[in-house]
Amino acid sequence: MRGQVIAAFGRQYLVETDAGSFVRCVTRGKQGGVVCGDRVAAAPTGPGEGVIASVEPRTSLFQRAAPHRAKPIAANATQTAVVVAGEPSFSDELVCRAIVAAERERMKALVVVNKADLAEATRDALARLAPLGAAGYPVVAISARGDVSPLVERLAGETTVLVGQSGMGKSTIVNALVPGANAETREISRFLDSGRHTTTHARLYRLAPGTAIVDCPGLQDFGLAHLSRAEIEAGFPELRPLLGHCRFTDCSHRSEPGCAVLAAVAAGRIHPRRMELLQRILAAERPAP
């Protein structure tokens, strides 16, 4: 039988078959490496149970990575929605990093500012996200407790991964979008007395044929050790037309004469905060030899 992995917990996988049934699967031997969203072929081993025999080639693999350790998040997704909120506070560097990882996989990306009902904090959050808006990314304000329609418009026909720091309201958004999803949110987890991160594994929910969202555990960091210097630079779309136009081919865009990127910043065509984030990320992930 063929199907899609809709949840991955350790080495256990929940597979939704193309026929519409749910099968609890394991992998045999040292295959591993199965990710939420993977399309798989599985062999039944009992009622509602099976073994994953093979994984189909992926159209995308959204992942973060520490040096020598990849941390896959979701396979075959077409879009990343980074969820932030006015409260608790968020890191614009983490947002930027997640978007760079999405760009690497040719996925679309947008930022969702949740908790729009907290008006003052939301205004501040939107102001901090202005550089991303200027770079061309949609920035959509919603309240998971109220109106989520500005987000719904962006989801049609896509498989969207909801990522972000803990407590931003990803699972609350899922519950607003998917009747009966019952994703665990902070209130429920407090009640169950579980740990700090409310969501513990990625889970795919179908909204309509061809439209799905993936709820993920909260992230505290977003390593990009799997990306080259060039891939990190290309993760800033406003830089792409300039790359290769600096006087020196190995230009670091810090202080070199004839730097096309610094010229664009000086001319106000690139937001200085975006440059700052690029340099921070490059310094952390790809220190110059």
Ligand X SMILES: Nc1nc2c(ncn2[C@@H]2O[C@H](COP(=O)(O)OP(=O)(O)OP(=O)(O)O)[C@@H](O)[C@H]2O)c(=O)[nH]1
Contact residues for Mg ion, defined by CB under 5 A: 170-171, 198-199
Query: How far apart are the C-alpha atoms of 165 and 217, rounded to whole Å?
Result: 8
Amino acid at 177: L
Cβ 170 vs Cβ 215: under 8 Å: yes
Is 259 a binding residue for Zn ion by CB under 5 A? The answer is yes
Residue 97 binding target from Mg ion, Zn ion, ligand X, none, CB below 5 to 8 Å by type = none
Min dist. Cβ of residue 278 to ligand X (A): 26
Residue owning tokens 């992926």 = 58
| Shortest distance (Å) from residue 184 CB to ligand X | 7
CB of 10 to ligand X, least distance (A): 18
Site residues (CB under 6 A) for ligand X?
Answer: 114-115, 117-118, 143-145, 166-172, 185-187, 197-199, 217-218
Residue 238, phi-psi category: left (phi > 0), alpha (psi -120 to 50), beta (remainder): alpha
Backbone dihedral angles phi then psi of residue 25, each to the nearest 5 degrees:
-120, 155
Residue 166 interacts with which of Mg ion, ligand X, Zn ion, none, CB < 5 to 8 Å by class: ligand X
Q: Which does 172 bind (CB under 5 to 8 A by kind): ligand X, Zn ion, Mg ion, none?
A: ligand X
> Smaller CB distance to ligand X: residue 40 or 176?
176
For residue 52, state whether it binds Zn ion (rule: CB under 5 A): no
CA angle 110, 222, 225 (to 5 degrees): 115
Q: Give min distance, CB of 137 to Zn ion, in A.
A: 23
Taken in order 87, 89, 92, 93, the sign of the CA dihedral is: negative
- Closest approach, Cβ 254 to Zn ion, in A, equals 8
Bond from prior residue into 88 cis (ω within 30 degrees of 0): yes
Instruction: Report in angstroms how near the CB of residue 195 gets to Mg ion at its nearest.
Output: 12
Among 14, 239, 246, 275, binds Zn ion (CB under 5 A): 246
Pick from Zn ion, ligand X, Mg ion, none: which does 144 bind, CB < 5 to 8 A by kind?
A: ligand X
Segment contacting Zn ion (CB under 5 A): 60-68, 106-114, 196-204, 238-246?
238-246
Residues contacting residue 242 through CB under 8 Å, at least 6 positions apart: 260, 261, 264
Rule CB under 5 A: say whether 141 interacts with Zn ion: no
| Residue 169 partner contact from Zn ion, Mg ion, ligand X, none using kind-dependent CB cut-offs of 5 to 8 Å | ligand X
**Shortest Cβ 88–ligand X spacing (Å):** 9
Q: Residue 138: which of ligand X, Mg ion, Zn ion, none does it interact with, CB under 5 to 8 A by kind?
A: none
Cα torsion 271, 273, 276, 281: sign: negative
Return the exposure string of 69-107: e unless at least 16 CB atoms fall within 10 Å of the residue's CB, then b: eeebbbbbbbbbbbbbbbeeebbbbbbbbbbbbbbbbeb
- CB-based burial label for 46 (10 Å; 0-12, 13-18, 19+): exposed
Please state, as a whole number, how many other Cβ atoms lie within 10 Å of the Cβ of residue 250: 8
Query: Cβ closer to Zn ion: 43 or 283?
Result: 283
Tell me which of 85, 151, 251, 275 binds Zn ion, using CB under 5 A: 251
Binding footprint of Zn ion on the chain (CB under 5 A)? 246, 251, 253, 259, 261
